[in-house]
Amino acid sequence: MIYEKAQEAAEFIRGKFGDRIKIALVLGSGLGAFADEIESAVKIHYAEIPHFARSTVEGHAGQLVLGKIGGAAVAVQQGRFHYYEGYSLEEVTFPMRVFGLLGIKTVILTNAAGSLNADFYPGSLMLIKDHINLMGVNPLRGRNDERFGARFPDMSEVYSLDLQEKAIAEARAMDYVLRRGVYCALQGPCYETPAEIRMLREVGADAVGMSTVPESIVARHQNMQVLAISCISNLAAGMSEEKINHEEVMEAGAQVADVLNKLLKRIVSKLI
């Protein structure tokens, strides 16, 4: 049972870090540098944590970093599990289950994404206001464990409006223009075709990626508040002459790391 496994993992983490963790963050492709901002960091490799899978994708460190940011105790996932790596969504979202059982009420998810909106150019940050799940799978499929949440959870406000307002206010205080849009998740691992991108634009997506949505769904299932930010790494397929490659995605992450890290720090400090 996932619940018991998640309890075991939560117990293990509690044994490594006494403070009550308030916020969990997930750092996406190329965005791992935020973990360096953590004070008195305790680093735990995923392989050490009971029932955690291992991250295989380049650019993901594959460790949980526990510590403090601006006085708040945080758990930071430096590297996440992706469906395209071959994990089940149960494995992909297992860390969220553990965060929920640790009593964490707020999760901040980050990712790299392609832009479908010509105004959201590479190197910009987009606050996710809603999502479209086109992965063809749902992490809540299967027998529902009521200890986690309801069988048919509401998804009308996956991304907390309150947290979005706080993020926008912090960005404004930094004189930074945070974009806001709809994120669409596909399975990957290949990037999209130009025809698929035209279709996604028709259905209302501003950005496209291969993660975040399963974690957001599971976080909401457990009634955690979610904030999610996409680092726009490239214009989606067919929108420019350029071909899309993983190196460029990683590079865009490094470019925005500074502003993203500052923004995340400010947001976290406002949440305690």
Cα 75 off chain centre by: 13
211 is catalytic: yes
**In the complex, what is the shortest distance from the CB of residue 98 to ligand HPA, in angstroms, rounded to a whole number?**
25
Catalytic residue, from 124, 133, 211, 230: name it.
211
Cβ neighbours for 120, distance < 8 A, ≥ 6 positions apart: 126, 179, 181, 206, 207, 232
96 is catalytic: no
Cβ neighbours for 18, distance < 8 A, ≥ 6 positions apart: none
> Which lies closer to ligand HPA via its Cβ, residue 28 or residue 67?
28
**In the complex, what is the shortest distance from the CB of residue 112 to ligand HPA, in angstroms, rounded to a whole number?**
4
The answer to whether the CB of 211 falls within 8 A of the CB of 28 is yes
The answer to whether the CB of 78 falls within 8 A of the CB of 60 is yes
What is the contact surface with ligand HPA in residues (CB under 6 A)? 112-114, 191-192, 208-210, 233-234, 236, 244, 249
Give the H/E segment covering residue 66.
Answer: strand 63-69
29 is catalytic: yes
Of 88, 67, 77, 136, nearest to 111 by C-alpha is 77
**In the complex, what is the shortest distance from the CB of residue 157 to ligand HPA, in angstroms, rounded to a whole number?**
24
**In the complex, what is the shortest distance from the CB of residue 256 to ligand HPA, in angstroms, rounded to a whole number?**
13
246 is catalytic: yes
Catalytic residue, from 113, 210, 219, 252: name it.
210
Catalytic residue, from 234, 236, 250, 252: name it.
234
> Which lies closer to ligand HPA via its Cβ, residue 85 or residue 192?
192
> Which lies closer to ligand HPA via its Cβ, residue 10 or residue 200?
200
The answer to whether the CB of 229 falls within 8 A of the CB of 28 is no
Q: Which residues are catalytic?
A: 29, 60, 82, 84-85, 112, 210-211, 234, 246
